Structure 1
Amino acid sequence: MSLLLRRRRYERTRTLLHDWFAGTTRPYSNGYSGPPGGPPTPGQIGPSGGDSEDTIARSIPSQKAKKIEWGPTVFKAFESAATTFVSLMVLGLAGYGYHRYYKYLVLQKMERAFDPGDPMLELANQGKQTSTSVLIDDEKRWIRRKEQEKIDAILNGKTRGHYHLIIGEKGTGKSSMILDAMAKVNGEGISMFEAHADLEIFRIRLGKALDYEFHEDYIGSLFSIKGPRDTTALLDIERAFNKLEKIALKRRKRVGRPLVLVINSTHLLRDDEDGQDLLELVQQRAEQWAASNLVTLVLNSDDYWVYERLKQYATRMEILPVLDLPKQEAIAALTKYRQTYKQEKPPLKILEQVYDRVGGRLSYLNRVARSPDMLHTCENICQAEKTWFLNKCGILGEAMDDDVMDQQKYASAAMVLAKALVAQEREVGAKVHPEDRYLLPQMPLHKAREIMTRADFIKSYDHNNIFTIDAKAMVRADSVPMQNAFREICSEEGFDDFLEATLDRISAIESLGRTRELVAKDLVGGAEYKIKGRPDRGDGITVRMLSPDS
């Protein structure tokens, strides 16, 4: 029974203390401060003679009840502050954790981009089929060139400490050799993408090649936070290269060889301020990566201006020129192509005639080998090149309007250079060895500018595939069909006179532009004008209008 009374007394005391802290107690008539409903009766505690409820209530002074009226407010404020702090702390930890996880995920995705297999390689493999959908073996499809071994060593990581510029005319097989080298290692440690003149498109293609989203999938954008993407494309490319360095450092410790990044069609960049800034950024990274053996950068270009721009600051750059095939290799390649596509072996006479018309350009040889009539296709190629040249650089003669003078300056300079190359071919053609008689005539770049009397047009000719400038700064026709077009045009009757008349008309228009007319009005019979010379010399002239009778 005493245990039950103790239990009741304990519960009653706890209830009184709780109501007191909560501020819900009120004094009774006998001075007791307790819960509403009045003081308890003596029988509620029991006859044990222990501490009564009146004694417990009197132990709490009434004046203290007035001093703790702020207690509930402080308690609630503390509770709210603690809840807010804990919520912010949890939110901050969650955001920081996500940020760290996102950065880790970015590096993991970029590292997987250099795993075996590459999108460019997969697209190339889809094209290794004939019109009959029969897969061609690599030994039958690709022509083994002497440059292939060096490109293989670059892409498989054996050649280190340099970055490379592969330069040559379009259709010589540069991209094909790169893809062939990638296929031999299944694209492991290699990433390749196509360049573009627009920096935003270049940024997107670089991100696709490296599997990098440039923070565009960052969840912070949901909270309207200004993210890292709110900047220029050039800074995004710099960020991508920073991430690539981290991956390259990690991979070098594990694999021991550098990554390979291939930028194809670098000549598509514009030769303006934006394009030059991008090329400078790429070259700075290439120099650093080559010195530390982190990444081997390979640039593939058709135009000379890329080499001219990179040469200013290059210390670790190596040049790999890719030219047309010589005669014997071209004939062997054409024979292999023809056997693959048409299952026939043409006679040597036909093969030599094809080489006379289109030379050793692999793209032309491949097109000719696919056609039923090879010689007719050669004529079509030569005619297409001639039409392209005339559309770009056709001259108008003496009757041209003065509004087209700028365009005619561009066209006449090209005609003058074409005429010089044809004349050089006629002078030295008989002295060349018969096996090399199809080598195109060429001249140094400075000599070509001297002949044209212009220094700014040659880059545009190179970009438009009319003339080409190789890595040794030698100028020649872009291809054998283009040289054939030069020869045909310059051999036409009256061409020299027509070109001379065009040049004279340009000179006359320029002379008119430099001439100023002095018009004298109201100068009738007997009137005169006096034109004084320099005061110190005292000379001058008098202009007088005579009457018709005199």
Structure 2
Amino acid sequence: MVESAATSLASILVLAAGFAFAAYGYHKTYKYMVLKKMANAFEPGDPVLELAAIGKEIPKSAGGTHWVERPEQAIVDSIIAGHDIGHYHLFIGEKGTGKSSMLLEAMRKIDGDGIAMLEAHSDLEIFRIRLGKALDYEFHEDYIGGYFSERGPRDTTALLDIERALNKLEKVALRRRRKVGRPLVLIINQMHLIRDDEDGRDLIELLQQRAEQWAASNLVTMVFNSDDYWVYERLKQLATRMEVLTIVDLPKAQATAALRNYRQRYFNETVSSEILDMVYDRVGGRLNFLNRVAKSKDMLAACDAIKEMEKTWFLNQCWILGEEMDDDVMDQQKWAAAAVVLATALVDKESSMSHTYDPELGHVLPSFPLHEAQQIMTRADFVRSLDRLNLFSITSSAQVRASSVPMHRAFKEIVAQPGFREHLQATIDRIAAIESLGRTRELVAKDLVLGGRYEVRKVPGGVDVVLKEKEKEAGDD
């Protein structure tokens, strides 16, 4: 019995040691493979570039593009190539100005070496998945040890998973810096899609803390890309190493050159300078609009269609209902009236400007400082939501103007309508009347309605009130 027991004990010890060594080896191998996979995500060649070659029409191979290179392209190239160190960057500008295209072009020039790019999302779980896809990180969801643990690795929040992924990225960046000598680059596109709520602010704070730390140690250069001003306001509160690059519409010379190149590419047609000037006068230097116009057979008709589309969007969101509006829609009409008042003020300011068109720069849209725009609207909480809807634009220098040249043309058409200012004033008066009615309390004394009257006299210690009813006339029952 003793011999059998010793044999069994020895067998159990051998098996236990074998399992322990196997588990330890699996654990170490798994952690090694996690870092290796993440390092491979930053090797040359990126799926984003292949998708861009199809979706955004940017050639994957080197050798020139069909769109005009923006003046900021050299700065973007230096950032993406890892030469600009010690900072993280925020690209801000209106939708369609070419921010993403510049980033993709800079990535193409170095074949995505040392770069990862992802699109932001309002849902933190989706953001987590996209970050994991960009970094080739599974968040330990494929770790076999999770089957034996009392609490699985996914029993947590998306924000904690994002923190874990950034911890792993930091280890990869440390190894790469010793090997290559330049930082990794992490691009987060469309930051404005993150919700401006508690979860969204926590995510932005987490990303900014990492960006500040990594910029100081030259480990990772983070690039945030946003269309909306509120992201800049949020980042500015804690920013010490942040650099802001504002992307605006192209100047006239570059815009007409881009339109000429687009037209040559799509229709093999050489456009006269007169037509190019007419198109620029109507849509400005927004690359998105120029590309859309160049694809149309009738470019001037396409310009008018863009303006009508912007006008319809504004009217559908912000039109005022006049004196006959119901009191149930007053909250929405406060917002709409404030937007229309600001649009009217921008149109009126244009008439007092010394010049609205520069021969070299092109359009000079009227604008107000943000605090003046809030004063004009008499509300401080509306203008940022109008920026999110692409009705107005708030620049990085806190200037409020129309979101685009076609939108400003739409403002001018709306304000020029017969009876518009009377209609606006009637709406404002109706809102004031409804608010006054809501602040008014009416007391009805029935005795007075029936003809009675009160006699009030002062008595020692107070006031005496006596009701004198109406005397019945002869013949009354």
Fold similarity call, TM over 0.5: yes
Q: What is aligned with 1:413?
A: 338
Distance in 2 of aligned mates of 1:189 and 1:334: 33
Which of 372, 375, 380 in structure 1 is aligned with 2:300?
375
Matches within 5 A, 1:19-418: 72=1, 74-127=2-55, 139-223=64-148, 225-418=150-343
Higher RCO, Cα 8 Å, sep 6+: 2
Q: Which amino acid aligns with 2:35?
A: L
Structure 1 CA distance for aligned equivalents of residues 143 and 248 of structure 2 = 47
Instruction: Count how many residue pairs are aligned between Structure 1 and Structure 2.
Output: 473
For 2:468 and 2:294, locate their aligned partners in 1 and report how far apart those are by CA, in whole Å. 80
Q: CA deviation at 1:145?
A: 1.2
Deviation track 1:186-222 (CA, whole Å, cap 9, x = no partner) reads 0000000100000000000000000000011111233
Q: Does 1:511 align with 2:423?
A: no
Q: 2:457 and 2:102 mapped to 1: Cα distance?
A: 76
Instruction: Give the 3-state SS of the residue equivalent to 2:225 in structure 1.
Output: strand
Q: Is the 8 A contact 1:395 1:502 kept in 2?
A: yes
Cα deviation 1:221-265 (Å, max 9, x = unaligned): 333642222100000000000000000000000000000000000
The change in CA–CA distance for 1:278 and 1:490 in structure 2 (over 3 A counts) is same
How has the CA–CA distance of structure 1 residues 524 and 205 changed in structure 2, closer, same or farther, with 3 Å as cutoff?
closer
- Kept in 1: contact 2:96–2:286 (CA 8 A): yes
Matched to 2:18, the amino acid is V
TM-score of the superposition, structure 1-length normalised?
A: 0.81
CA gap 1:137/1:546 in 2 versus in 1, 3 angstroms: farther
Whole-Å separation in 1 of the counterparts to 2:62 and 2:414? 43
- Which has the larger Rg? 1
SS in 1 for 2:365: coil
Cα distance between partner residues in 2 of 1:253 and 1:137 = 29
Whether contact under 8 Å (1:215, 1:227) holds in the other structure is no
Query: Which one of the candidate residues 480, 488, 493 is aligned to 2:418?
Result: 493
Identify which range, 216-225 or 411-420, moves more after superposition: 216-225
Match of residue 5 from structure 1? none
Give the letter for the 1:184 counterpart: K
The answer (yes or no) to whether the contact 1:245–1:294 under 8 Å persists in 2 is yes
SS of structure 2 residue aligned to 1:320: strand
Question: Which runs of 5 or more residues in structure 2 are unaligned?
Answer: none
Aligned to 1:9: none
Deviation of 1:401 (Å): 0.9
| Contact 2:89 2:242 survives alignment (8 Å) | yes
Alpha-carbon offset, residue 438 of structure 1: 2.0
Q: Deviations over 1:294-326 (max 9, x none)?
A: 000000000000000000110000000000011
1:104 aligned partner, one-letter code? Y
Deviation, structure 1 residue 532: 9.8
CA distance in structure 1 between the aligned counterparts of 2:67 and 2:425, rounded to whole angstroms: 47
User: 2:251, 2:465 → 1: CA distance?
Assistant: 72
Q: Write the letter of the residue equivalent to 2:32.
A: Y
- 1:129/1:201 CA distance change after superposition, 3 Å: closer
Name the CA distance, whole Å, in 2 between partners of 1:544 and 1:299: 78
Please, which runs of 5 or more residues in structure 1 have no aligned partner? Answer: 1-71
Letter in 1 for 2:11: T
Aligned partner letter, 1:320: L
- Are 1:128 and 1:136, in contact at CA under 8 Å, matched by a contact in 2? no
Task: Classify 1:545/1:423 alpha carbon distance in 2 versus 1 (closer, same or farther; 3 Å).
Answer: farther
Q: Secondary structure at the match of 1:396?
A: coil
Say if 1:399 and 1:86 are closer, same or farther in 2 by CA, change over 3 A: same
CA–CA distance in 1 between the matches of 2:465 and 2:294?
78
Structure 2 length-normalised TM: 0.93
Q: Percent identity?
A: 62
Relative distance call for 1:329 and 1:532 in structure 2 (3 A) is farther
Letter in 2 for 1:80: S
Instruction: Say which is worse superposed, 189-198 or 434-443, in terms of deviation.
Output: 434-443
